[in-house]
Chains A and B, each alone.
Chain A
Amino acid sequence: MVKLFFLLLFFPVVLLAQTDWQKWEKKDVSYQRIAPFLERDYSLSGEDVFGSVTKLFINTYWVLFSNLDGDNCPFNPTCSSFLHQAAKRTNPVKAVLMFTDRFTRDMNPFSRRDNYPLHLTGKFYDPVELYLLEENSVHYLSPSHMVQ
């Protein structure tokens, strides 16, 4: 009777389980765990002169301040990374304006869940692309989805 119960319980589950809609190969699973900690990228490679100078300032800020005052930024990328990415993609003036706008949004602790999707790191995803004021780069990120 118990066997029949398990049979009835699991057959519908078997019917619904459809991971085989793509052919798959053998996969070796690593025993090691993934580190969930934020890794800073301190490298200056691929930067022009202005970019290198900006990156040096940001690296100094990270080492002397940001790495010591705790995990305060609720966003991914962090505000300093946001500034760096903005400077790379645009010009210094626009980057500073984008940064101050990001700083203001950082100060608002309310309704983040309704406005930003969650990143895999547990932070709210707020990329530079949305604030370039270029029509092609603005795309809507639904807050109900998780970003990888």
Chain B
Amino acid sequence: MIFAIKKAALFLSIFSAAAFSQTAMQKQYDYAISLYHDEEYFDAITEFKRLLFFDGKNEFSFEANSMIGKSYKAGAKFDDAIRYFVLAQITAPSKDKVFETQIEIIRCNILRRTTDRAIRILSDLEADPSFINNKDEINYWRGWALMFDDRWKEAAAEFEKIEKAHPLNAIAENISKQLYSVTLAKSLSYVIPGAGQFYTGHYFSGALSLAWNILWGYLTVNAFIGERIFDGLMVGNLLWFRFYRGNIQNAEKFALEENLKIINNGLKQLQNEYNGEKP
């Protein structure tokens, strides 16, 4: 009886010691997490690195690397964030965690505007049969990557795959319809100087451009008709050609400017007003 009690007490002590050492790691993890939640990201990274250093059995490897990645992401240090997410992915305990980390990497790529990489990773995920149940999420983030890549029509199509009435589908579709065609603006200006500017709503610039081109064109032709070849070449080359080329450049510039305004308004709306998951 006494021997049994002794045995039990010994077992309890060893178990408590083991439990306490696990508690120390967990305490460190909890402390680091509290710093993260207090937005002390730099210090949180220090504590997670400390945890990793002393975690000989790599029990917290995935969580710590993942949280370091999230801390760097919060500080907009996306290169470092991606590195740690990759390390977390290597030690991920399950396929779900691998997917979760890949999505974090995709979000970092979207935010640092390396959207081609984000799209490539999404394609790889889509091709992987183990993620067949995550199709909606893959389409969702591909939609975001395409929006950041200014491919609004394609983005709308991605959101439509998830749900026809998806709110982001409507936003992307709306922006896509508002955008000006840069090619059309330039083509119009090739044919009629100033027409491209009119198309993009810059009427004063368009009218002036047309006026200058008419004036220099008239003077050039007049000079050649009057056999003043040198004058004709000077006016034609230094003035008419310069203003004609400027007209085409302006048509392109205004189309790009207006499109940037539309896109930035859309992105601002997405950042400030959209309640769903964002990069």
Interface residues of A (CB under 8 A from B): 3, 6-7, 10, 13-14, 17, 19-20, 23-33, 35, 37, 64, 67-72
A-B contact pairs, 6 of them (CB 8 A): A24-B42, A24-B75, A27-B76, A28-B76, A31-B268, A31-B271
Interchain CB contact under 8 A, B42 and A69: no
CB contacts under 8 Å to A, within B137-165, are 148
A10 near B86 with CB under 8 A, answer yes
> From residue 217 to 238 of chain B, which have CB atoms closer than 8 A to chain A?
none
What chain A residues lie within 8 Å of B86 (beta carbons)?
Answer: 6, 10
Contacts of A72 in B (CB 8 A): 242, 246
Q: Which residues of B contact A13 (CB under 8 A)?
A: 83
A37-B257 CB under 8 A given contacts A24-B77, A29-B111:
yes
B41 at the interface (CB under 8 A from A): yes
Q: How far is the CB of A62 from chain B (nearest CB, A)?
A: 12
Stretch at the interface among B2-10, B167-175, B205-213: B205-213
CB distance from B162 to the nearest CB of A (A): 21
Question: Does A26 lie within 8 Å of B39, measured CB to CB?
Answer: yes
| B208 and A10 contacting across the interface, CB-CB below 8 Å | no
Which one of B79, B90, B242, B248 contacts A7 once the chains associate, using CB atoms below 8 Å? B90
Q: Which of B117-125, B180-188, B259-267 contacts A (4 or more CB under 8 A)?
A: B259-267
Pairs A-B, 7 closest by C-beta atoms: A70-B246, A31-B267, A27-B76, A69-B246, A32-B264, A70-B249, A31-B271
**A35 touching B79, Cβ below 8 Å:** no
> Which residues of chain A are within 8 angstroms of B76 by Cβ–Cβ distance?
27-29
Q: Are B41 and A35 closer than 8 Å at their CB atoms?
A: no
Cα A62 to Cα B212 with chains together (Å): 14
For the A-B complex with A20-B45, A33-B264, A37-B257 known, give 18 more contacts whose Cβ atoms are closer than 8 Å: A3-B90, A10-B90, A14-B83, A19-B79, A24-B42, A26-B39, A26-B75, A27-B75, A31-B148, A31-B267, A68-B205, A68-B247, A68-B250, A69-B245, A70-B245, A70-B248, A70-B250, A71-B249
Report the nearest A residue to B257, measured CB to CB: A37
In Å, the complex CA distance between A27 and B39 comes to 10
In this assembly, does B253 line the interface, its C-beta being within 8 Å of a C-beta of chain A? yes
Q: Answer whether A35 and B260 are a contact pair too, CB < 8 Å, given A23-B42, A25-B75.
A: yes
For A17, what are the chain B residues with a Cβ–Cβ distance below 8 Å?
A: 79-80, 83
Cβ < 8 Å to A, chain B residues 56-102: 74-77, 79-80, 83-84, 86-87, 90
Interface residue from B42, B83, B256 paired with A20 (Cβ < 8 Å)? B42
State the Cβ distance, B261 to closest chain A Cβ, in Å: 8
Assembly CA distance A32 to B262 (angstroms): 10
**B-chain residues with CB within 8 Å of residue A19 when the two chains form the complex:** 77, 79-80
Q: In the bound complex, how far is the Cα of B74 from the Cα of A69, in angstroms?
A: 45
User: At the interface, yes or no: B198 with Cβ under 8 Å from chain A?
Assistant: no
Complex contacts, A69 vs chain B, CB 8 Å: 242-243, 245-246
CB of B132 within 8 Å of the partner chain: no
How close is A9's CB to chain B, nearest CB, in angstroms?
9
What is the bound-complex CA distance between A70 and B239, given in angstroms?
11
Q: Does B17 interact with chain A (Cβ within 8 Å)?
A: no
* B24 adjacent to chain A (CB < 8 Å): no
> Does the CB pair B205–A67 fall under 8 Å?
yes
A68 / chain B contacts, CB cutoff of 8 Å: 205, 208-209, 212, 243, 246-247, 250
Taking CB atoms, residues of chain A closer than 8 Å to B214 are none
